[in-house]
Amino acid sequence: MSKVFEPNREFSKNARIKNMCEFKEIGHEVDDDYEAYWDKLAKEKIDWFEPYNKVLDESDAPFYKWFIDGKLNVTHQCIGRHLKTRKNKAAIIWEGEDGSRRIITYLLLYYRVNRLANLLKNKFGIKKGDRVVLYMPMIPEAAFAMLACAKIGAIHSVVFGGFSAEALRDRIIDARAKLVITADGAYRRGTPYLLKPIVDTALESGCECCENVLVVKRNFEDIDMVEGRDHIYNDLIKHESQHCEAEVMDSEDPLFLLYTSGSTGKPKGVQHSSAGYILWAQYTMENVFDVKENDTFWCTADVGWITGHTYIVYGPLAMGATTIMYEGVPLYPDAGRWWNMIEELRINQFYTAPTAIRLLHKVGAEQPGKYDLSSLKVLGTVGEPINPDAWMWYYDVIGGGRCSIVDTWWQTETGGHMISPLPGATPIKPGSATFPLPGIKAEIIDEEGNPTPVGEKGLLCITKPWPSMIRTIWGDPERFKKSYFGDCKKDGKPVYFSGDGAMYDEDGYITITGRTDDVINVSGHRLGTAEVENVVAHDENVAEVAIVGKPDDIKGESLFAYIVTKTDIDVDSLKKVVNQLIVKDIGPIAKIDGLLLVPGLPKTRSGKVMRRLLRTIAKGEDITQDISTLEDPSIIIKIEKLFKGE
Ligand code: WT7
């Protein structure tokens, strides 16, 4: 049995949820009346323009609707309402990679967002419901742009700056975005890099919907400007008024789209709502991170991922907290950078990914000792399972044995945390995300809804709708139904299936065992193998390809490709060619690490590639499965030998 770590008593005394009794009491309250629980929270937490008249509408399930006919604006929740009490409080503290800082108070944030909102409306004709793509580095203007969209009811779709021109183009077209907001570039590892040329390439074909590009100057490198289409933010913004009426939004009006990978085909535009999403961002900030008025909160994610949306921008601001935004990489100028920032900015809650923890442990184990990390109260992780080694280092060395680690399980689709310890209440076991948050019905079941016995793997489902759930896949409601509500049922009713497997231990603690589908988790980022295979298959040397995840010490998983060639290209050259293609079509995050040339792929008689076997081989494990059902069992024996270099 794994060791249990009790919450720090001193911390618990002032925590919002102080012990497991309180946690269970809330659980009973939720069980007694599910809707009444959310009703109470929504009334208490959201500053409504007009009240809703019904909590939950299930009539068109699985297209659940929350807080029916309520009116609000998320920027009022995140900025406007704080002006009375916090106008001079730092909303965002930004640190550039070169060490420069910008401090944006709530009042200044209000003005910045208003000016940009006015610019979007007046100059570019952006209206409620229009889509705006953001392709931005980690600068405050990324947050201003998200919030400016929200202010006027436009739907933002942030595309991670590491994605290629092709990937950006697909997302602009799918969303039919009218405007792209970008920057000339930014700095990484001390060197300026460019973003704008990637936007130019993306817009070369098929993006007729996109009429304008707004460019924020960050590194002042030379970039080409297309006359009439491209505009410089820094020149235009000063002419706009600091005042802007917030658009009155319905609870269910979409706040943003965020594209994520699925097991098949092209990325899905996950659509989030206004009221349910912002309620959840705030609720989880309060309960999972237990952020207090004078705390400084730092989430190290990029705004291009859901973690950056909910825990850099919307969650901290909805609470009226101070959020940190850092431009650069953790290793610049050395592996002490983050610890140095924690010391200087006196960070109280720190939230990062296991892959970063492993990296910093490996390359700079001695670094944390040089800094004063005593301001830290809560440490968080997200994105992938955390291995016990990394967990213990985080706990002992970074947290000084004082801080709870909240291992938060959630997804782009869930909007915010679903399963996580509560730092003042939950006794934690390394490697377990522990229990669903109060109000969340996360259960491990089989396809028919039967509970999974202790110690056995089952399917991680959420069996009741929750306020911040994905509303649909942009432009493809059928795919939404099929992807999330097509696999599992409970009491005969389709329930949300996460795509993850999980397991209960004897105390009911939940351990996430990883994806059950062909999605790979590289450094906490989701990649659909099908998506990468489609790209690789286009190379003229490639006859057939299968890509699987291979365990990796730092990244968690890396991509391993089995390729049948139709030319006599050698392994090294093929790897180079294939990775060039991947970088062009998707981005560097999808590069393959390993490659094996094989004589064929293991297939069933019906022609389906048996990836399970390929995964087993890539893990370096022996094949124990029955291979007699394969069309040609000798293939897998050959592949196994090739892999072992025999
Ligand atoms: C997938 C979601 C949620 C923000 C970052 C990733 C994996 C997430 C954990 C965790 C084990 C985790 C799951 C999930 N995952 N958190 N604490 N322990 N696995 O968002 O790109 O939507 O990926 O990340 O497999 O399904 P995402």
Residue-level pLDDT at 489:
97
Side chain identity, residue 430? P
Residue-level pLDDT at 524:
87
The label of the residue with tokens 């090294």 reads 572
How many Cα atoms within 13 Å fall on the side-chain side of residue 374? 1
> Residue of the nearest CA to atom 12 in ligand 1?
384
Residue-level pLDDT at 165:
97
CATH architecture of the domain formed by 33-329 = 3-Layer(aba) Sandwich (3.40)
Alpha carbon of 319 to ligand 1 centroid (Å): 24
Alpha-carbon distance values, 33 to 43, 120, 227, 409 (Å): 16, 43, 59, 25
Residue-level pLDDT at 374:
98
Side chain identity, residue 111? Y
β-pairing verdict for 268-273 and 65-68: unpaired
The stretches in the chain having pLDDT less than 70 are: 1
383 CB under 6 A from ligand 1?
Answer: yes
395 CB under 6 A from ligand 1?
Answer: no
Q: What is the DSSP letter of 249?
A: E
8 A C-beta contact, residue 269 and residue 534:
no
| CA 512 to ligand 1: nearest atom | 11
Alpha carbon of 510 to ligand 1 centroid (Å): 14
Return the CATH number of the domain spanning residue range 519-644.
3.30.300.30
Pocket probe mutation, ligand 1, options 268, 306, 355, 411, max atoms within 8 Å of Cβ: 411
Record the tokens describing residue 443, joined without a space.
Answer: 């259960």
Residue-level pLDDT at 629:
83
Pocket probe mutation, ligand 1, options 310, 391, 409, max atoms within 8 Å of Cβ: 409
Residue-level pLDDT at 403:
98
Q: Where are the domains of the chain?
A: 33-329, 442-514, 519-644
384 CB under 6 A from ligand 1?
Answer: yes
Q: How far apart are CA 439 and CA 534, in angstroms?
A: 40
Alpha carbon of 380 to ligand 1 centroid (Å): 13
Alpha carbon of 330 to ligand 1 centroid (Å): 21
Give the tens place of pLDDT for each residue, 472-524: 999 999 999 999 999 999 999 999 999 999 999 999 999 999 899 889 999 98
Record the tokens describing residue 526, joined without a space.
Answer: 């989701």
Alpha carbon of 528 to ligand 1 centroid (Å): 14
408 CB under 6 A from ligand 1?
Answer: yes
500 CB under 6 A from ligand 1?
Answer: yes
Residue-level pLDDT at 495:
98
77 CB under 6 A from ligand 1?
Answer: no
In sequence order, what E strands does 165-218 have?
Answer: 179-183, 185-188, 191-194, 212-216
> Which class is domain 442-514?
mainly beta
β-pairing verdict for 254-260 and 155-158: parallel
Residue-level pLDDT at 263:
77
385 CB under 6 A from ligand 1?
Answer: yes
> Residue of the nearest CA to atom 8 in ligand 1?
383
| CA 433 to ligand 1: nearest atom | 17
> pTM for the complete prediction?
0.96
Alpha carbon of 514 to ligand 1 centroid (Å): 9
Q: How far apart are CA 341 and CA 103, in angstroms?
A: 15
512 CB under 6 A from ligand 1?
Answer: yes
Q: How far apart are CA 634 and CA 287, in angstroms?
A: 55
Nearest to 290 by CA among 438, 439, 429, 424: 424
| CA 261 to ligand 1: nearest atom | 21
